[in-house]
Amino acid sequence: MKKNKNTNLKFPRKVYLILLALLLVAFLAASLTRYFDHDEFETIHTVWKIVQGERIYVDFFQHHHPFFYYLLAPFVLIFRDSILTLFAARVFIFFLTLLILASTYLLGRKIFNSRISFLAIILLATTFIFNEKVVEIRTDTIQTLFSLASLVFLFDFLENGKARSLILSGAGLGFSFLFLQKAIFLIFLVCLLLLYYFWQRKISGRHLLIFGLSFLLTLFPYIVYLLLTKNFSTYLFFNWVFNFNFVGHFYPFRHLAESFRENSLLWIFCAWGCLVFLKTHRQKNLAFLSLGLLLSLFFVRVPLKQYFMTLMPLIALISSQGLYFTFKNNQKLLLIIFLFLTVPFIYSSLKPLETTINRNQLALVKDVLQATNEEDFVYDGSARFNLFRKDIDFFWFSVNPTDSCLATYKKLRPCDYDINELIEEKKPKIVSTYPAPVDLRRLEKHYKPFKNYPNVFIRIN
C-alpha cells in the first residue's frame, strides 16, 4: 500500500510532456487548416498596401499601430500575391505562440514552481478563448508575447533587485505598446504596482526613473519620426480618438460567459486558487495584475475575444496552482482532469469540421487573383477575399452603415461616402455587395455574378 501511495504522489512529467507535444501538433494543424478571420485578411492586405508604397493613416485607413505590419512585410516581399503568404504568416504566428507558452512557463517559475508552470501552459493551450485567437494573424499575439516577457523580468527584479531586469521589463512594455495600444492597461497596472513598492520603501526613486526611461526610450524613435513627418496628430486621431469613440459598444459578459461554459474548471480553480492558495507577495501581485486586466475589459468599447489574450496566461497560472494543490495527493486524478481538458482540443484540431476549415475561403481568394491583374481595382468591404489588389477608396473594410469604422469616422468627421459612385468612377473588376448598400440595379449593366460565390460580382468587359 505504501508503494502505491508513493506512486500516486509522483508527478507524471513524461505523460504531461506527451500531452504538451500533442497540443503543439494540434496548434500547428490549426494554423494550417483553421478558417481565416476577416481581421487576418485585413492584416495581410494592410501589409501588402505598405509594401506597395502606400502610407498608413494617409493613403488608406487603419486604426492600429503599424509595427506588426512592418514585421510581416518580408513575407509579402518573398511570396508576393500568393496564398503562401497567408500560410507563412500563420507559421510565424505559431512560433510566436510557442514563445508565449515559454514565457508563461518562465513567469510561473518566478511565482510558483516548475510543476505548476508546466500545468499552466497545458491549461492555457486548451483554453478556447485563447487558442482560438492565438493562431490567427493578428497583432495581439506579439503584443501578448512582449507583455509576458516584461512581466517575467518585472518579477525577477522584484525578487532579486537587478537593474538589468527592470530595464528589460520597461523595454518589453515599450515594445508591447509599439505593437498594439491595448498594452496601455498593463502599463498602467505595472506602474501602480511599482508605485506601491516605492510607497512601501521596497524600491527607490532611482528604480522608478530607470523603468520610466527604459519604457520611454523604446518609444522615442517612433515619436521623433511622427513629429518630423508631421504625422503625430494623424496618429493620435486614428489610434486613440477614433477607437475611444467607436460607435459599437458591448460589455465583456457574453465572452466571459462563453469562456466559463467552455472552460469551467479554469475559472472555478482560478477563483479557488485566489481564495485559498495565494500566500506570497509574488502570488498576490499576479492576482492584482489579473484582476486589473479583467476589469480593463469593461473600459473597452468593443472587448472582442482577442482582448483576453494577455489576461489568459495569468488566469491559467492561478488556476493551475488551485488545481495542483487541490489534487496534490492524488496525481492520478489530476492527470485524468488534464486528459479530459486536452483531448477535445487535440481531436478538433487534427480532425476539423468542414465548417471550420479554410478551403472555401482560399478558393475565393485564388479565383479573384486569377480573374484580375495587378492594375485592377477590387471592392471588398468585408475583407473576405481582396489580399493583393488595389482598393477604390481610403476606406476599404468595415464599411457597413451602422456599427463600423466608416460609421465612426463619419461621426467624428462628417463626410460623403457613396459606394455606388465610387464603383462607377473606379470600375473595380470584382465587387462585393456585402456589407455596404450597393445598388444592384446600377450593377446589372456592367457586372454579373462571379461563379457561385454569394454577393460577389465580376465586371463584364
Closest CA to 374 of 82, 106, 73, 30: 82
Query: Cα-Cα-Cα-Cα dihedral of 15, 21, 26, 27, to 10°?
Result: 130
Rg, Å, the chain Cα set? 24
β-partners of residue 458 are 430, 448
For the ranges 65-69, 249-253, 361-365, 425-429, the lowest mean pLDDT is seen at 249-253
pLDDT, averaged across the chain = 93
Give the pLDDT confidence of 190-207 residue by residue, as tens digits.
Answer: 999 999 999 999 999 999
Give pLDDT, residue 4.
45
Q: Is 444 helix (H, G, I), strand (E, B) or coil?
A: coil
Specify the amino acid at residue 340. Answer: F
Which pLDDT tens digit goes with each residue over 217-232? 999 999 999 999 999 9
What does the pLDDT average to over 128-150?
A: 96
Q: Please say if the pLDDT value at position 7 is more than 60.
A: no
- Pairing mode, strands 430-432 and 378-379: parallel
Q: What is the mean pLDDT of residues 327-352?
A: 87
How is the chain split into domains, by residue range? 2-33+64-354, 359-459
Query: In the numeric block, which cell numbers belong to residue 239?
Result: 489610434
- The pLDDT assigned to 9 comes to 57
Look up the pTM and report it. 0.94
Predicted pLDDT at 455:
92
> 298 pLDDT exceeds 50?
yes
Residues constituting the chain = 461
Query: What pLDDT is attached to residue 355?
Result: 67
Mean pLDDT of 307-329: 96
Q: pLDDT band at 354, cuts 50/70/90? A: low
Q: What is the pLDDT of residue 437?
A: 81
Respond yes or no on whether the N-terminal peptide bond of residue 352 is cis (omega within 30° of 0): no
* Cell numbers given for 104: 508563461
